[in-house]
Structure 1
Amino acid sequence: MNTANTDQRLHSLDNLRAIMMWLGIVVHVSVNYMINPSPTPWRDSQTSVLADLLIVFIHAFRMPVFFILAGFFVAMLVAKRGMAAMLRQRVRKLVWPFMVFWPLLLIFMSLLVAVYAHLNAFGTMGVDFELIPKVPGRPQVSLLHLWFIYYLFLYCLVYALLLRWSVFIPLALQHGFANTWKILCTNWWGIFLLTLPLALAGSFYRNGMVTPLGSFMPHPAEFIHSGMFFSCGIFLYRFQADLLPRFERRCWSYLCAGLPVFVVFLALVKSGGNTESANPGMQTIMAYLYNSVSWLWSFALIGLFLRYLLGKSRLLSYLADSSYWVYLVHMLGTIGFGILLYHSPFGAVGRMMCNIVLTSLFCLLSYHLLVRRGLIERFLNGGASKKAVDAGSVNPGISC
């Protein structure tokens, strides 16, 4: 693989990462206005089925793509700099930002949620932490949306341990395991085998959709679910010469194959699967369908960006540079502007659109004025990257 082709492919993946990050704003704004029960303790007085559809649609591929890209770039970092350098870089990029920003976000987000709860209870602004509803099965003090970097660092530790222990594993067994992943990612039937462990994990969740509980103690189902996509990214890097061109050639096939599966999933949700009383068998079927879509559309998106957005874009490079900051602070915007729009004359869809625009402006302006090329930029990104390959190799593909 020549250097120019490699750089173009890394530009494509960095462009994909930037778009997936911005879809996080759409998802977390939509949570305010969804009709179905929400795991978050805030809800606008206006709701729309569009919000539910956007969440189900985007959730199918967004985090899977992020973990695949994260695994890809971690494997690339190990190949280029070694395991020890990868761990040092992950501590600097993941652990220290978590230690700094998690307490601050916990304070400010708790305050905003308390105001939201007061609005829901009395229709007026106020702060009363006792009004915040307790969500069954969720911790009182959670990881918030920083669960992604928390899990990502755990995966990096596991990967480092496996690399260290690999000296005790026969090479034939190592190659056999790696080639099995390649075969599964190469053949259409492999996707349906890869979905089996994800279906088992999803069977414990409403509609078969794995949603993070935010606990500091990793939930086995969540750890397996995201870990499968992270592992895929590692092997995608190893076999990129074969797999990336295949995803590029077959991107539309993957996309089209996922559509009828997604429609069947929605039909099951509408016909009664979307209830607390849905039987475990139905939950498992729904989880299998939904996670099949996750694999198909993740491969489709990688291929589409390799095919149509392979060059370096100034706009997407800027969004990629800002992605870590936006990931950290965007929830302050989605909740805060949700409060400000609570009594607006708009309906649910109008409020959603306003919130998305306002949150995006808040994130971009705060990044440009307070972060870019400054101390916080160096702390998060090591400075604005000059090349997409640099951005891809140092940024963890962050978002929630």
Structure 2
Amino acid sequence: MNNAHTPLPPHPQPLERLHALDNLRALMMWLGIVLHVAINHLTVDSPLPWRDPKTSPVADLLLLFIHSFRMPVFFVLAGFFVALLAERRGANGMLKNRCLRLALPFAIFWPPLFAATTVLAMVYIHLTVRSVPGIDVALAPPRQAGGSPFNTMHLWFLYQLFWLSVLAWAGMRVRRFVPARLREALARGFTQLLSRRWGFAVLALPLALVGMAYPSGLLQETGSFLPPAAEWMRSGLFFAAGWYVHGRQEQLLAVFSARCKGHAAAGFAFLVATVLLLGATRGGSLHRVPHPEFWIAYAYSATAWLWSMALIGGFLRYLPRRNAVLDYLSQSSYWVYLVHMLGTVGFGILLFDVPLGAVAKMGLNIAATSLAALASYQLLVRRTPLGRLLNGQRPENRSTRKSTKARVLAAR
């Protein structure tokens, strides 16, 4: 959610934006709309208690595909930018920035978004169960004994990222008590795993071990204000990777760029393996394989690491310069992230009885939600104090400085 710049050089010079990472963030934001629209049309068990009468395997594949890399990429980028802030502003300056850009927006927007989304969700559930719009609290999903009726909804990313930033701040405050050799060994270990061709296989192991405790081996975010340890491990590991990528960025970004095609191909192979394993599990043909959830979780976690590196490297290699459309989407991404669920649920309600197939409905919902979110950003946010709260000062950079691609490839 931050401005993406390269680290300050030894002598003050104009800063150059990493436009490649801005472009990547723009695409990841938009895919969030696609993912949450797809959930309305799943043929398999849904993580949400509503469903459109038209379903499609296309929605199942879209959810599995996008979910495999979208949030991992966001957490890698987040860790990178938190390390950048810490380098420039120190631990306290970084934490102050995260309080202003993460904690404050969460405190402001969560209450109205929770109320509005809950109302829309209840209407959608009523449609799903009784085929007519309405609100009946008796249809609300049951809670676990002692469970809270409140959750962070889709803002769980904002919530977890803030607390990971607090942990990073605490780590910086106590780092002088940690032996320098240990700190260097940790940084060197992450660098080795992220730069070696086999490193993803090691990084996927801890995620597979926690993922195997979930149905079908796929970890699902609870949105809880007290998330389970498995969620913190998954988010924290990608966040830590981004932190160490920043510390070795010339080396690692060059590796990601050079290997983006190979990483993408390997990630696709592991995704196919995930789909086949899921199909075999549901068909009962894996009943003799010990811990099939582990192998599903391992294949899916390998996909996450490979495609995270592939996307970062691919954007550095092929989209390193400022793109007007993606730059606008990047600037609007925070606002769109906050409000897009109102669109995916609200337009889902409006399209419920429309006599169209699932794919057509998905296309209409994606287009309508995208346009509504961007229009509200343009009219209500872009040049207002709200925009400055979400995005800070983003001076336009139209210079013809050396491109990100040239800098990264020159490091090889």
TM tier, smaller: over 0.9
1:313 aligned to 2:323?
A: yes
1:141 aligned to 2:150?
A: yes
Q: Residue in 2 aligned with 1:254?
A: 263
- Relative to structure 1, is the Cα distance of residues 139 and 115 closer, same or farther in structure 2, using a 3 angstrom cutoff? same
Q: Residue in 1 aligned with 2:3?
A: none
Equivalent-residue separation in structure 2 for 1:384 and 1:48 (angstroms): 41
The CA deviation string for residues 334-378 of structure 1, in whole angstroms up to 9 with x for no partner, is 000000000001111111010000000110111111111112112
**Residue 28 of structure 1 contacts residue 331 of structure 1 at CA under 8 Å; is this kept in 2?**
yes
**Residue 80 of structure 2 contacts residue 243 of structure 2 at CA under 8 Å; is this kept in 1?**
yes
1:14 aligned to 2:32?
A: no
Q: Which moved more, 1:348-357 or 1:279-288?
A: 279-288
Aligned 1:1-400 pairs, distance under 5 A: 7=16, 10-134=18-142, 139-273=148-282, 281-387=291-397
Q: Which moved more, 1:147-156 or 1:126-135?
A: 126-135
Deviation, 1:380, is: 1.4
- Relative to structure 1, is the Cα distance of residues 274 and 369 closer, same or farther in structure 2, using a 3 angstrom cutoff? farther
Equivalent-residue separation in structure 2 for 1:123 and 1:62 (angstroms): 33
The CA deviation string for residues 243-280 of structure 1, in whole angstroms up to 9 with x for no partner, is 001110110011111222211111111112589x9787
Equivalent-residue separation in structure 1 for 2:91 and 2:398 (angstroms): 22
**Residue 152 of structure 2 contacts residue 225 of structure 2 at CA under 8 Å; is this kept in 1?**
yes
Secondary structure in 2 matching 1:142: coil
Equivalent-residue separation in structure 2 for 1:342 and 1:211 (angstroms): 26
The alignment-based identity, stated in percent, is: 45
Kindly provide the amino acid, as one letter, of the partner of residue 292 in structure 2: M
Secondary structure in 2 matching 1:7: coil
Deviation, 1:135, is: 6.3
- Relative to structure 1, is the Cα distance of residues 74 and 198 closer, same or farther in structure 2, using a 3 angstrom cutoff? same
**Residue 34 of structure 1 contacts residue 52 of structure 1 at CA under 8 Å; is this kept in 2?**
yes
Equivalent-residue separation in structure 1 for 2:57 and 2:398 (angstroms): 37
The CA deviation string for residues 85-104 of structure 1, in whole angstroms up to 9 with x for no partner, is 11001000111111111110
Deviation, 1:231, is: 0.2
Kindly provide the amino acid, as one letter, of the partner of residue 169 in structure 1: V
- The runs of 5 or more residues in structure 2 that have no matched partner are 1-5, 400-412
- Relative to structure 1, is the Cα distance of residues 385 and 6 closer, same or farther in structure 2, using a 3 angstrom cutoff? closer
**Residue 11 of structure 1 contacts residue 388 of structure 1 at CA under 8 Å; is this kept in 2?**
no
Equivalent-residue separation in structure 1 for 2:53 and 2:298 (angstroms): 33
Equivalent-residue separation in structure 1 for 2:256 and 2:115 (angstroms): 43
Equivalent-residue separation in structure 1 for 2:297 and 2:152 (angstroms): 24
Equivalent-residue separation in structure 2 for 1:312 and 1:238 (angstroms): 24
Q: Once superposed, what is the RMSD of the aligned Cα atoms?
A: 2.2
Secondary structure in 1 matching 2:291: helix
Greater fraction of residues in helix: 1
- The runs of 5 or more residues in structure 1 that have no matched partner are 390-400
Equivalent-residue separation in structure 2 for 1:383 and 1:340 (angstroms): 37
Deviation, 1:133, is: 2.5
Equivalent-residue separation in structure 2 for 1:274 and 1:55 (angstroms): 20
**Residue 281 of structure 2 contacts residue 292 of structure 2 at CA under 8 Å; is this kept in 1?**
no
**Residue 23 of structure 2 contacts residue 315 of structure 2 at CA under 8 Å; is this kept in 1?**
yes
Equivalent-residue separation in structure 1 for 2:275 and 2:297 (angstroms): 12
Secondary structure in 1 matching 2:150: coil
- Relative to structure 1, is the Cα distance of residues 52 and 337 closer, same or farther in structure 2, using a 3 angstrom cutoff? same
